[in-house]
Amino acid sequence: MTPSPKIERGAAAGSRAFIDLHCHTSASFDSLSDPAKVVRAAATRGITHLAITDHDRIDGALRARDAAPDGLTVIVGQEVRTKAGDLIAAFIERPIERGLSAADAIAAVREQGGLVGMPHPFDRLRSSLLRDALQESLLPLVDWIEVHNARLVGGGNERAALAAREAERPGVAVSDAHTILEVGVAYSVVQGDPSTPAGLLAALPPVDLISGRASYAVRIWTPLAKVVQRARGNGRSQPTVRA
């Protein structure tokens, strides 16, 4: 795993915040990371704002928020599976239904006053929105695009950065952590206080992107986590909206 630079906090950091807008816990069907351990790891590594974005649910994010140590703000979020691909919801208090159209899912997030990000938009191995050129119309509807996802292999990050520039959308770096070791391996540095939707929008785009990477060895845990979670009865949920 490529290590991230040590974050300097406190007076030396001024008004900077260190944010990771995509992180999973054991509430996801493909992670075994205890929410309390995730937030402790994030705080230890200098992250100041962490979005917990489990697949199709928010209970892990709520537990993480309750367990967050001083100095760490947990943003309750969700990785939402839409008919077109995945979206990131942030600053929500109720889960977004799985299986909605992308536009309807975005509208549901907005109804809660939340923000919307586009995760790994060109990932060939995951449910990614921009693999289909028809989905490019969604770009103006999101608040940021992941231009560096630490788990993405191939040229998807480069293509995402180009798409973000062309659409004039802020680009962020995220860990997409599914294990404790990955927490904070990639993150964005912003000026200001991104603790609220308005604050985060005002802080974007980041002043710096820290683009560490998850190792292939760590990613081996993901298929193992899926097996364990399935045995526990926590497999991937089925769509709640009929096609």
* CATH number where 157 lies: 3.20.20.140
Domain assignment present for residue 3? The answer is no
3-state secondary structure of 101: coil
What pLDDT, on a 0 to 100 scale, did the predictor assign at position 47? 98
Domain assignment present for residue 240? The answer is no
Domain assignment present for residue 23? The answer is yes
Task: Please say if the pLDDT value at position 35 is more than 60.
Answer: yes
pLDDT in tens, 103-136: 999 999 999 999 999 999 887 665 555 555 546 7
Least confident span in 39-43, 49-53, 122-126, 149-153: 122-126
Q: What is the domain count for the chain?
A: 1
What pLDDT, on a 0 to 100 scale, did the predictor assign at position 237? 66
Domain assignment present for residue 236? The answer is no
Q: Where are the alpha helices (DSSP H) in 92-167?
A: 102-111, 156-167
Domain assignment present for residue 238? The answer is no
Q: How far apart are CA 81 and CA 102, in angstroms?
A: 9
- Please give the structure tokens belonging to residue 187: 């993150």
- Please give the structure tokens belonging to residue 174: 């995220």
Averaged pLDDT, 69-75: 98
Binned at pLDDT 50, 70 and 90, residue 5 comes out as: very low
Binned at pLDDT 50, 70 and 90, residue 200 comes out as: very high
* Radius of gyration of the chain measured on its C-alpha atoms: 16
Task: Please say if the pLDDT value at position 166 is more than 80.
Answer: yes
- Please give the structure tokens belonging to residue 94: 């109720």
Q: How far apart are CA 146 and CA 68, in angstroms?
A: 24
DSSP class of residue 148?
Answer: E
Q: Are 134 and 111 in contact (CB under 8 A)?
A: no
Domain assignment present for residue 95? The answer is yes
Enclosing domain of residue 132: 13-231
How many Cβ atoms sit within 10 Å of the Cβ of residue 195? 16
Domain assignment present for residue 114? The answer is yes
pTM of the model: 0.87
Q: 71: closest CA among 41, 49, 38?
A: 49
Residue holding tokens 């990932």?
A: 123
**Mean pLDDT over the full length of the chain:** 88
Domain assignment present for residue 111? The answer is yes
What pLDDT, on a 0 to 100 scale, did the predictor assign at position 142? 96
